[in-house]
Structure 1
Amino acid sequence: MTESLNHLLAELHAERQRTWAPEALKVNIDQRQRLVDEARPETFIKPGDTLKPFELLKVEGGSLTLDELVSDGPAVLVFFRFAGCPACNIAVPYYERNLQPALRERGVPLLAVSPQVPDRLKAIKDTHHLTLQVASDRDNALARRLGILYSFDEASRQAALAKGPGIGAITGTGTWELPQPTVVVIGRDHRVQFAQVSPDWLVRSEAQPIIDAVDAALEAERLQVRHA
């Protein structure tokens, strides 16, 4: 049976229902529901869009540009919130297990992207011994262009501050903004071949539709070469 990311995330929520105080659980559920209710899909990145050049910061040091990512064909970007996010510590390793091997076979890079500053973001790669690349989207610059940012609502801010520093201190960005979980497949021509945005961060893209989108992008490129 194929491993399901959304089943794993549902188990996380069920554990919270068993162990969290009702008021804390309500803040979490209400924030996620608000993001679903207020989502404006027309503003999200979508297939057919063409991306302008961008640069991301690799957690090991150095940068990675759009041209470098797609120099040999399609690339896959997975946006997540930050290294300490419990759901992200389920989702990113899931993609390592279920998506990275298939993409490696196809010669397609997989890049996990967060606004968290590189020296803090590196923790998720080290903790899970990831072979996929992890990079920082400085100041949420790319996520903002993709239309996938959200900001903590007031109840979530107060709940976070009651437990410690705000999210801006944790990520190093100094803001309450985070990307909604998003997967984007980008072709060699910088055009978006697949895009899926998940306003509820406990609902995320499964691996197989991403693999299918990559295969379609590779086939389209083969046809272009054949008819060139």
Structure 2
Amino acid sequence: MTVTQERRVTGAEFARLVERNALHQRMVTAGDRLPIEPLVEVDLGPIHLDRLLRTGPVVLLFIRHAGSSACGAALTAYRTGLAPSLAARDAHLVAVSPQAPRRLAALKHRYDFDFLVASDPRHRLIDALNIGFAAPGADIQLGTRRNVLPFAAAIVADRAGVVRFADVRPDWSTPIAPDRIVAALA
């Protein structure tokens, strides 16, 4: 994989990978507790999920990196189709990537996102949710000396830190409908 290429996993390959490795038994599901791992917001610095949960539910959208056009397109669509509904419900929207904060900041500033864009540079949250996969060569794009990328995922946790919704997909080519995410907040 070169720096400009992105590892693609088809739906069928994803299903085989999940089945072969029994990933579905380990991936985050509704009813799980949201792991409280530190993240680094690209403009604000360290953020703590437990502190965000004190003021409202949290919606986490896992993306690969700033150079991914599919991830950028999905987040752009969520900015208009999801973020206003979440704000009306006092919910926090956080895009999460294992990319180094300084590189990930380019994505937030390019699209002028008004929601949190955070780095999980040691992929601790990604690992705790079991939504990562090895992608040899990704360390170059991520700038973290690590080769783990997350599957495309949307996770909703209520104020008590209980996961109410988890949708994990091979990539962002078919985004998760905003109304499904909002419905999980009810």
Give the structure-2-normalised TM-score.
Answer: 0.88
Q: Aligned pair 1:188/2:159, yes or no?
A: yes
Q: Which residue of 1 aligns with 2:52?
A: 69
Structure 1 unaligned spans of 5+: 1-24, 158-165, 217-228
Which residue of structure 2 aligns with residue 107 of structure 1?
A: 90
1:137 correspondence with 2:120: yes
Q: Does the CA-based 8 Å contact 2:66-2:103 persist in structure 1?
A: yes
What CA distance in whole angstroms lies between the structure 1 residues aligned with 2:7 and 2:120? 25
User: Is residue 2:176 matched to residue 1:208?
Assistant: no
CA deviation digits over 1:89-123, x for unaligned, max 9? 11111111100011111111100000001100001
* Counterpart pick for 1:96 among 79, 83, 86: 79
Work out whether residues 36 and 200 of structure 1, in 8 Å CA contact, stay in contact via their aligned partners in 2.
no
> Partners in 2 of 1:52 and 1:149 — Cα distance?
15
Contact kept, 8 Å, 1:80 with 1:180, in 2: the verdict is yes
1:173, CA displacement in angstroms?
A: 2.0
Residue 65 of structure 2 aligns to a residue whose secondary structure is: coil
For these two proteins, the number of residue pairs brought into alignment is: 177
Distance 2:111 2:125 in 1: 25
**Residue among 145, 156, 172 paired with 1:174:** 145
Deviant stretches of 4+, over 4 Å: none
Q: Does 1:34 align with 2:13?
A: yes
CA deviation string 1:160-195 (max 9, x = no partner): xxxxxx321111122332000111111111111111
Deviation sequence 1:47-98 (CA, Å, 0-9, x none): 1001232111010142111211111221111110000101101111111110
Correspondence for 1:79 among 55, 59, 62? 62
The structure with the largest strand share of the pair is 2
The percent of aligned pairs where both chains have the same amino acid is 34
- Alpha-carbon separation, structure 2, partners of 1:73 and 1:131: 17
5+ residue gaps, structure 2: none
- Secondary structure of 2:107's match? helix
Question: Could you tell me which residue of structure 2 aligns to residue 198 of structure 1?
Answer: 169
| Residues 26 and 130 in structure 2, CA contact (< 8 A), matched pair in contact too | yes
Determine which structure has more spread, i.e. the larger CA radius of gyration. Answer: 1
Q: Superposition RMSD on alpha carbons, in Å?
A: 1.8
